Amino acid sequence: MLRSLQGLVCRSLKLDHGCALHTAARGGLSSVSSQDVPAENLRAVFHTSESDPAKHTEQHEGRLYNIPLEEVKAVFPHGLPYRFQQQIQTFNEARVMVRKPALELLAYLKGSNFAHPAVRYVIYGERGTGKTMTLCHVVHYCSRQGWLVLHIPDAHLWVKNCKELLQSSYKKDRLDQPLQASVWLKNFKSSNERFLQEIKTQKKYMWGKQESTEEGRPLGEVVEQGLARVRSASDAVGVVLREIKQQSHRGSFRLLVAVDGVNALWGRTSLRKEDKSPVSPEELTLVHNLRKMVRNDWSGGAIVTTLSQTGSLFKPSSAYTPQELLGKEGFDALDPFVPIPVPNYSPGEFESCYGYYLERKWLQHEKAHTEDGKAELRFLSGSNPRQLDRLAGPL
Amino acid sequence: MASEKPLGSCPAYSYHTLLWDTLRLICTTTAVQRKNAGASGPEKYTEAFIKKQIEEFNLGKRHLANMMGEDPETFTQEDIDRAIAYLFPSGLFDKQARPLMKHPTEVFPEQRKIQWGEDGRPFHFLFYTGKQSYYSLMHFPNMTKSVSLLLTYIINLAGSRWLTKIELEEMLVEKMSDDDYSRFIRLLEKLVALPCADLEEKYIQKFSKEVPAQLQKVLIEPLQYDERGVAFSTGEGRRKTASATAVVYDNGTGKITVNGIDILHYFPVLQDREQLLFPFQFLGRIGKHDMVCTVSGGGRSAQAGAIRLASAKALRSFVTEKEVEFMRQAGLLTVDPRVKERKKPGQEGPRRKFTWKKR
């Protein structure tokens, strides 16, 4: 009905994970016509013109800040929730809400000592509260600061629905996933171009019998190799990760390892080998290398991870704490970490989100503009960002 | 009592005869009706027959009392009903199909005695009109002419209604047509409108009945206060097989907990949450109350409906009477009578028949 109509007219947005974190403040577009004067007032309340996450403080809490669209394409080739991407397309702007968990994380990152081993942060919370968007906020900050960002959009994609599983040439009992690895390499390349030229390999790597990469070559060549020869893509990923890890403590760059859905690394997979026996995560090259990345035996950066129940396998839908989702193995591997809970919208944040929808004329229903409508929305969504977004869709 | 009828020495035999005597009394009507199913017109019971039935009933009543170990003198109809239900348990749904033992005047319909004497001359002067009781009623001779017109007051007919046509027919033991009935009602209305109507009030009240349904008032419980001083009230509700109790607290933020779980987790479907929202939205009190509910049984929709009813009932204590009336008219306070319909034999479900095959 309404939903399909909207899909025809303008693609309706669906936020998979996380809330409607909207980045506010159009710097150049704030000169407005007379009709937007009341909208300006609204904007003043809900938006900030501060588009640099480094300068976000408590006074910006609950407000939405804008990320310019070019930056979105550069920083987030992958990693934004699907619904949020649709919202960006509909509203023609990317607005992220500044929330307390993100501010907390940013404060930790600003104050962390990079000579010490990397600190691990685990963002957790119930479904649809904004974990992925918090992670994206942090990634944006780090990329603005010039860090090398290793962003794995959803680790669950690596442990399920894999069409091709090749036996690894490097280690006999491991399995390769060429498709996933090549996709990730492509996105990684587009987001971290300059680093790939700067970082040089420290060892010679053999790809099969003929090809090899010499020592001292830029890392970009390894990535090209992985993209060209899809068979060795997973190994290329492993090489990239290892090189970056080894060189990060030198101090020439800071490294941020951002993993969404980190509980996939220690759960079960839904993949099967040819003899129908189940595959455990250690047998996958990608997962194995990623686990090494997430260990805190390197310094010069930080590891920010998110737990996600939505894509997880064999976990009940009511599980959201680190204990439940990581299991004993994962918890021990990640321990010690800094837990960062992400709650539902506070009343102020709810007002902000609602005001944004009103301002962008997303809520078309006449009752939605009233106080009663707002109370109804608040009740029915339970102040959960995802529910609010889904509710506001057909309205 | 045992000496009235010579009973055998064996106690089983006495029990047997007593049972069968009462049984005979119970089953006589059906037996008689069955035999004369093809007979013309309704059954004619003679006076002697009715008298004999009454005697047998009283006798049977005393026997029954003796059987149950009660005092025969103070054995009421209620006791009889209970005893019969105990001795002849029946699983039939239709209450009128179960064994019953009632006074013959209730069992046998009233019938006209013979209206003329031995010489063939009818007793009543209006016999040849064909509807003698109707016309005797219409011709109301006992109208006392009252002199004082000052003492007029209108009879209070506010909570009463006139007898229906069927009730009037039963009273007069005579069939009448719709026209006759409407004429009679018009006459009664005119009588009530006359100034001297109050004197004949007793007569008129024979033809009016109280309507008790409106006079039932539902008690609204007052608010209770818990140890923190917050006002709260409880309500219960049912829907299909689910039953719920809700405790609504004042000065709240709109948080609702069901069986210890937040409603967002307990009712993932929007429709159920909308059902819970309805009473609060109707009264405009969405964010003002907290609620703690327990619910069991039924399915997802039934539980939501049960909680809705329970919360509406609890909210009555917080709200004015007018708003309670509005809630009742909106259907928030009515128990939903829809339950699963029974499957019938010869059909696949309650309504669905088996696939019809031509051959």
ipTM of predicted complex: 0.76
Q: Could you give the 3-state DSSP secondary structure of residue A315?
A: coil
Nearest residue on chain A to B267, judged by CA atoms? Answer: A380
Closest CA–CA distance from residue B273 to any residue of chain A (Å): 6
What would the pLDDT profile of B1-18 be if each residue is shown by its tens digit? Answer: 444 455 445 555 555 665
Q: Report how far residue B79's alpha carbon sits from residue B77's, in angstroms, rounded to the nearest whole number.
A: 5
pLDDT > 90 fraction of chain A, expressed in percent and rounded:
0
Name the 3-class secondary structure at A217. Answer: coil
The pLDDT of residue B17? 60
Contacts of B285 in chain A (CB under 8 A): none
Structural Rg of chain A based on CA atoms = 22
Distance from C-alpha of B298 to C-alpha of B243, rounded to nearest angstrom: 8
How far is the first Cα of chain B from the last one, in angstroms, to the nearest whole number? 66
A380 touching B, CB under 8 A? yes
Inter-chain residue contact B287 with A375, CB threshold 8 Å: yes
The answer to whether B17 touches B7, Cβ cutoff 8 Å, is yes
Answer whether A42 touches B (CB < 8 Å).
no
pLDDT at A199 over 90: no
Contacts of A378 in chain B (CB under 8 A): 254, 286-287
CB nearest to B262's CB, from A375, A382, A391: A382
Contact between chains at B254 and A379 (C-beta distance less than 8 A): yes
Per the CB < 8 A criterion, the answer to whether A357 and A363 are in contact is yes
Q: 3-state class of B256 per DSSP? A: strand
Nearest Cα to A326, choosing from A312, A338, A340?
Answer: A312
Q: Do B286 and A372 touch (CB under 8 A)?
A: yes
Q: For the range B103-107, what are the long-range contacts, defined as Cβ-Cβ under 8 Å and sequence gap of 24 or more?
A: B103/B54, B103/B57, B103/B77, B104/B50, B104/B53, B104/B54, B104/B57, B105/B50, B105/B54, B107/B29, B107/B53
Instruction: Give whole-number Cα distances, B80 to B51, B89, B334, in Å.
Output: 20, 14, 36
**Pairwise pLDDT comparison (A15 vs B257), residue with the higher score:** B257
Instruction: Output the pLDDT for position B300.
Output: 93
**Residue A144 CB burial class (10 angstroms; 0-12, 13-18, ≥19):** middle
φ, ψ (nearest 5 deg) of residue B159? -100, 30
pLDDT for the residue numbered A194: 81
Residue B318 to chain A, least CA–CA distance (Å): 19
Average pLDDT over residues B193-220: 71
Taking a C-beta distance cutoff of 8 angstroms, is the pair A272, A279 a contact?
yes
Residue A22: the pLDDT is 42
d(C-alpha A134, C-alpha A155), whole Å: 17
Q: How many CB atoms lie under 10 A from the CB of residue A210?
A: 6
Closest CA to A313 of A259, A248, A254, A267: A267
Instruction: Please judge whether B286 and A380 are an interchain contact, meaning their C-beta atoms are less than 8 angstroms apart.
Output: no
Residue with tokens 């349904």: B213
Q: Which of B256, B274, B286, B307 to mutate to test the interface with A (most CBs of A within 10 A)?
A: B286
Q: What pLDDT was estimated at residue A49?
A: 75
Q: Is B286 on the interface with A (CB under 8 A)?
A: yes
Is the pLDDT at B73 greater than 50, yes or no? yes
Contacts of B254 in chain A (CB under 8 A): 375, 378-379
pLDDT of residue A31: 37
Q: Name the residue among A99, A96, A91, A102 with its Cα closest to residue A65.
A: A96
Q: Using alpha carbons, list the distances in angstroms from residue B145 to A74, A132, B136.
A: 108, 96, 20
pLDDT tens, position by position, A94-116: 888 888 888 888 888 888 888 88
Contacts of B265 in chain A (CB under 8 A): 318
Assess B260–A contact: CB distance below 8 Å, yes or no: no
Mean pLDDT within A39-43: 53
Q: Is A213 on the interface with B (CB under 8 A)?
A: no
Provide the shortest C-alpha distance from residue A20 to chain B (in Å): 18
Checking phi first, is residue B236 left (phi over 0); if not, alpha (psi -120 to 50) or beta? Answer: beta
**B260 contact partners, CB below 8 Å, separation of at least 6:** none
**Which chain B residues touch A372 with a CB distance below 8 Å?**
281, 284, 286
Cβ contacts of A159 within 8 Å, gap of 6 or more: A264, A265, A267, A268, A269, A270, A271, A281, A284, A287, A313
- H/E stretch holding B238: strand B231-239
The answer to whether the CB atoms of B286 and A384 lie below 8 A apart is no
Chain A partners within 8 Å of B262 (Cβ): 382
DSSP secondary-structure letter at B90? Answer: -
Q: Kindly list the residues from chain A whose CB atom is less than 8 angstroms away from the CB atom of residue B281.
A: 372, 375-376
List beta partners, residue A122. A305, A339
Q: Do A382 and B264 touch (CB under 8 A)?
A: yes
Among chain B residues, the shortest Cα distance to A317 is held by B265
Q: Is A332 near chain B, with CB under 8 Å?
A: no
pLDDT reading at B291 higher than 70: yes
> Which pair of tokens denotes residue B58?
């009283």
Residue B79 scores a pLDDT above 80: yes
CB pairs A-B closer than 8 Å: 31
Pairwise CB contact (< 8 Å): A376 & B286: yes
Q: How far is A90 from A88, CA to CA, in rounded Å?
A: 5
Q: Is-cis flag, bond preceding A336, omega within 30?
A: yes
Residues A170, A207 contacting (CB under 8 angstroms) = no
The answer on pLDDT for A245 being more than 90 is no
Confidence of residue B55 (pLDDT cuts 50, 70, 90): very high
> Where does B266-339 show beta strands of DSSP type E?
290-296
pLDDT in tens, B165-185: 888 888 888 888 999 999 988
Question: Could you read off the pLDDT of B249-271 as tens digits, one per residue?
Answer: 988 888 899 999 888 889 988 99
- Nearest 5°: phi and psi at B26? -70, -45
Q: Which residue has the tokens 């909570």?
A: B159
Using the Cβ of B280 and the Cβ atoms of chain A, whether some distance falls under 8 Å is answered with: yes
Most confident of A72-86, A134-148, B172-186, B291-305: B291-305
State whether residue B264 sits within 8 Å of chain A by CB. yes
Alpha helices in chain A (DSSP H): 2-9, 37-46, 69-75, 82-91, 100-111, 131-145, 178-191, 193-198, 219-228, 233-248, 285-294, 322-334, 347-359, 371-381, 385-392
Tell whether B166 lies on the interface with A, counting CB pairs under 8 A. no
Nearest CB to A376 within list B264, B265, B281: B281
Query: How would residue B81 be classed by pLDDT, with cut points 50, 70 and 90?
Result: very high
Q: How many CB atoms lie within 10 A of CB A306?
A: 27
- Tell me, yes or no, if A378 comes closer than 8 A to chain B by beta carbon: yes
- Facing B263 at nearest CB: one of A378, A382, A391: A382
Output the CA–CA distances (angstroms, integers) from residue A363 to A26, A33, A89, B114, B278, in the order listed.
21, 22, 17, 83, 21
How far off is chain B from A376, nearest CA to CA, in Å?
A: 7
Joined together, the tokens standing for residue B191 give 């009588």
Which residue do the tokens 């309340």 mark? A45
Task: Find, in chain A, the residue whose alpha carbon is nearest to that of B283.
Answer: A372
Distance CA A16, CA A311 (A): 10
Chain A residues whose CB is inside 8 A of the B274 CB are 380
User: Which chain A positions have a beta carbon within 8 Å of B264's beta carbon?
Assistant: 382, 384, 387
CB-based contact, A228 to chain B, within 8 Å: no
Q: In angstroms, what CA-CA distances link A224 with A168, A217, B146, B307, B318?
A: 19, 12, 120, 62, 71
**CB pair distance less than 8 Å for B254 and A378:** yes
Residue contact B281–A391, C-beta within 8 A: no
Interchain contact A372–B (C-beta under 8 A): yes
Contact B287 A372 (CB under 8 A): no
Q: Cβ contact (<8 Å) for B277 and A379? A: yes
Per CB-CB distance under 8 Å, the chain B contacts of A391 are 270
C-alpha dihedral sign at A367, A368, A369, A372 = positive
Mean pLDDT of all residues belonging to chain B: 81
Q: Using one digit for the tens of pLDDT, what is the confidence trace for A275-307? A: 888 888 888 888 888 888 888 788 888 888 888
Angle at A45 between CA A136 and CA A393, to 5 degrees: 60
Find out whether A312 and A325 touch, Cβ atoms under 8 Å.
yes
User: Cβ of B286 and A378 within 8 Å?
Assistant: yes
Tell me which chain B residues have a C-beta less than 8 angstroms from the C-beta of A127: none
- Please, are residues A133 and A18 in contact by the beta-carbon 8 Å criterion? yes
Among candidates A164, A184, A182, A159, which has minimal Cα distance to A284?
A: A159
Which residue of chain A is at minimal alpha-carbon distance from B288? A375
Q: Rg of the Cα trace of chain B?
A: 31
pLDDT of amino acid A126: 87
Q: Within chain B, how many helices (H) and strands (E) appear?
A: 12, 8
Structure tokens at B310: 């329970």
The pLDDT of residue A327 is above 50: yes
